[in-house]
Amino acid sequence: MDSSGVHEIGSGLQLLANSGPSVEINKCSIDNDAAEALANGLHSVVNIEDLDISNNIISPTGAITLLNEVHCLTQLTDLNLSNNNIGCDGAAALAGQLQYLTQLEILYLSHNNIGPRGAVSISHTLCSETVTTLLELELLHCVILLLFLIRFTCFSLVSRNSHQ
pLDDT tens for 82-121 read 999 999 999 999 999 998 999 999 999 999 989 888 888 8
Question: How much is the pLDDT for 120?
Answer: 83
Domains delineated in the chain: 3-159 (3.80.10.10)
CA geometry: angle at 142 spanning 99 and 121, to 5°? 30
Question: Which segments of the chain have a pLDDT < 50?
Answer: 1-3, 145-147, 157-161
| pLDDT for position 68 | 92
99 vs 138: CA distance, rounded Å: 18
Question: What span, in angstroms and rounded, lies between the C-alpha atoms of 65 and 19?
Answer: 25
Name the pTM for this structure: 0.81
Neighbour count for residue 12 (Cβ, 10 Å): 16
